[in-house]
Structure formats: structure tokens, C-alpha cells
Amino acid sequence: MGMELKTVNDTAVPSIGLGTWQMKGSECEQAVTQALEMGYRHVDTARIYDNEKMVGNGIQNAAIDRDDVFLTTKIWRTELEADEVRPAMEESLERLQTDHVDLVLIHWPNMGVPLDETLHAFQELQDDGLARNIGVSNFTERLLDRALEIAPSIITNQVETHPFHQQHEMASFCQDNDLLLTAYSPLARGQAVENDVITDIADKHGKEPAQVVLRWLTQRDNVVAIPKAAPKQYQRQNLNSIEFSLDADDMDKIGDLDRDEKLVDPGFAPW
């Protein structure tokens, strides 16, 4: 099975990645190794997940070259001052057992730290080869527009996106600016796979509901998804979601499920 790629700013990113939020210990290590040996080539972690060491172990244990893995990590909102960014990145690289990541993100904006200060520090990481690409996460369109003025090399905004919170305006903004929208919580923490519309479409295609949701996402322009899955059967289901297509009627029916329902809404969110 070939890996489906989405390309922005001359950077190719696999459309399905492995999310690792809440994965810990040996489960995380095994899940990463298993996923890579199955065919995944995109792994997402973060400093705040407290699992970078296990993700690094999982990559080391897999029988594939490190250069074949698109590896993302994120720097937390309390480490965004100019003199904090590089030490945070260096700590992450040590845990991940690599000399670079393919993408580093501002995990959440911190309105108490000037955005230009943070992004200039991120650009230095990119210039020095510690991160091949830079991006942001949980940015509003206004903040993302401002970020692009400072750092035009940004390639993505990673945001909560699923059938009940579809992010159409953000997706259009990303497409217009040659950015990826990276969808986290793409299955709405399991709620989407229980929806009658989605299960009916799954039955129509002989697929699993999760596969329908992921295909609905990756058929959208400039969208990639990073579902979390540790068991082999679910990893394989998610990866195989690229092997079929939804028709226009399917896409429209899922589109009608949008209710702007956020599952992630901490008090420090910028909205």
C-alpha cells in the first residue's frame, strides 16, 4: 500500500499519522514500532505528553530508517520565550534520540509572550537544522494570519477537527495560504464512530465508521489527520482508510453533521 501524501511549501506529509496523546510507557513504545512496521510514516508527539522518550524508543526499534519518518513534536505554552525555545527543543531531541524533528509546533499560543519573539526563535531552530519545518497548533485564523506575516515558512496549523467541529473556514484559510490543516481528535474521542449517518455510510462501503471519518477528512484539500490508536487492528483500520473514496453524497451528509462542537476548550485558549 502506497502512502498518500499532502504537499505544501515543498514539504510532503503523510495524510494519516499516529497520534500519541495519552500514550505512556511500553504501550507507547510498542504502538509506535508496530505502526511504523505496518506502514505509518508520520508520528506526532509533544513535550507535554511526557512520552517523547518512548516515541524515540519506538522509532529506534522499528526496522525502518529514521529519515523515512515524518516526526512532529510541540513546545508547550510556558516555554515560548526566546531563551526557552532552543533548550526545550534540545531536550526533546535528546528524548527522541534524533538530531532533528521534521516539524516543531507552538502547542498553544501564549498571549503573554510576543508572537514574533517565539517565531523568530522557531525560525532559528529551522535555520540551524534542529527542525526541518515549523508550525503552530490551536491558532485562530487571526493569530495564524499574524504568524504568517512573521514566519512565512509555517506549514501547518494543528487544530481539533472532526464531523461535529469541521473547521471549514480554517481549512479554506489554510488552502488559500498553502498550509496544511492537521486534524487532531479526528474521531471526536469516539463519538463520531457511533453516529448513525456515519455508520450508514460505513455499511454502504463495507468499511468501519472510523475509516469513513478519516477518509472524509483526508479527501478534503490540505487536510491530514493524526488519530490515536495503540491496538494493531485499529492502527491498520486507520491506515487503510486511504484505500477507498467517499462520493459527493457521502461528503455532503457528513458535512451536515457540523455543529461547531469543541471537545478541547481550556481556559487559556485564544478564542
Query: What is the set of active-site residues?
Result: 49
Can you tell me the distance from the alpha carbon of 149 to that of 86, in angstroms, rounded to the nearest whole number? Answer: 22
Q: In this structure, are residues 133 and 126 in contact, taking their beta carbons and an 8 Å threshold? A: yes
Rounded alpha-carbon distances, angstroms, from residue 175 to 8, 13, 153, 203, 247: 9, 15, 15, 31, 21
Three cell numbers written together for 253: 451528509
At a CB cut-off of 8 Å and minimum separation 6, what does 125 contact?
Answer: 85, 86, 89, 104, 131, 134
Can you tell me the distance from the alpha carbon of 228 to that of 18, in angstroms, rounded to the nearest whole number? Answer: 6
Can you tell me the distance from the alpha carbon of 159 to that of 163, in angstroms, rounded to the nearest whole number? Answer: 13
Give the number of C-alpha atoms closer than 13 A to the C-alpha of residue 98, restricted to the C-beta side.
29
